[in-house]
Amino acid sequence: MKRLALILLVLLVAPAQAAAPPQGVVANVAQGKSLYAANCSRCHGSHGQGIRKQGPSLKDVGALGADFYVRTGYMPLDDPHTQPWRTRVLFSEQEIRALVAYVATIGHGPAIPTPQWRSASVAAGNKLFTDHCAGCHQIAIAGGVLPGARIPPLNQPTPRQIAEAVRVGPYLMPKFSPKAITPTQLNDIVAYVQYAKHPDDRGGWAIGHLGPWPEGMVTWLLAASVLVATCLAIGRRLKA
């Protein structure tokens, strides 16, 4: 009954916001609102207005923010005082779409980006990543720590999530507006991260993706052990 009322409410309100929303989207928003009420409203407030010491306002976060936080499993968060971390995603694809559609109606936030990284420049991305991201995430996208936070490695996020995170600045990460990092530059950065997920490890073993020399060190160590063992064996045989 409550749900029906919500659908009716949205049906009444929606035409005022957009000229002619397709039927399916409207239904999505209603489902999203109920999902929101069940999973998010405890911290973000009943209408996404935010609650002091619990959760920030969702006004103007847009589809971009909602899509990022839900698809990475960052949200819902058990304890608002802990750092959101990549976990199992609790919603189905259809539920995520509904939830994102609902959050997008709170204020006027940005849409979900679609990074065109396949034709972007890995070299330019490497330089941009060094300037803006490598300080925390490291050039080998391995992540790390910061006083007060863990820094996630970047081998799991999809290209879309990387592009979203740059705009959102989740948790303690700064956020980068289209003025600071243009959409073209963002494509380059995504291209670099996609490359760095599977870098060209010529030596065979990755060992920190530091280039061939850690592998060389290990090889030398193994070779030296074999040499010493051989010498010992020869020595024993000669003595006997």
User: Could you list the residues that contact another protein (CB under 8 A)?
Assistant: 52-56, 80-81, 83, 131, 134-136, 146-149, 168-177, 179-180
Nearer to another protein, 13 or 180 (CB): 180
151 vs 72, 84, 133, 184, CA distance in Å?
14, 11, 11, 25
Report, in Å, the least distance between residue 58 CB and another protein: 11
Q: Which residues contact 157 (CB under 8 A, 6 or more apart)?
A: 72, 165, 193
Report the residue number, 80 or 211, with the smaller CB distance to another protein.
80
Q: How far is the CB of 116 from another protein (least distance, A)?
A: 23
Which residue, 44 or 160, is less far from another protein as judged by CB? Answer: 44
Region at 192 (left for phi over 0; alpha for psi -120 to 50; beta for the rest): alpha
Q: How far is the CB of 138 from another protein (least distance, A)?
A: 9
Q: How many residues does the chain have?
A: 240
SS (H, E, C) 198-216: CCCCCCCCCHHHCCCHHHH
Tokens 């990549």, residue? Answer: 86
Tell me the closest approach of the beta carbon of residue 121 to another protein, in angstroms.
17
- The distance of closest approach from Cβ of residue 77 to another protein in the complex, given in angstroms and rounded to an integer, is 10
**Closer to another protein at the Cβ: 24 or 131?**
131
User: What is the spatial distance between Cα 16 and Cα 5, in angstroms, rounded to a whole number?
Assistant: 18
Burial class (CB in 10 A: 0-12, 13-18, 19+), 76: middle
User: With respect to another protein, which residue has the nearer C-beta, 81 or 237?
Assistant: 81
Which residue in this structure is represented by tokens 């090889």?
Answer: 219
Pick between residue 53 and residue 202 the one whose CB is nearest to another protein: 53
Q: Of the two residues 80 and 203, which places its CB atom closer to another protein in the complex?
A: 80
Taking the complex as a whole, the smallest distance from the CB of residue 72 to another protein amounts, in Å, to 14
120 near 188, Cβ under 8 Å?
yes
Q: What is the dihedral of CA 198, 137, 180, 117, to 10 degrees?
A: 10
User: Least distance (Å) from another protein to the CB of residue 224?
Assistant: 30
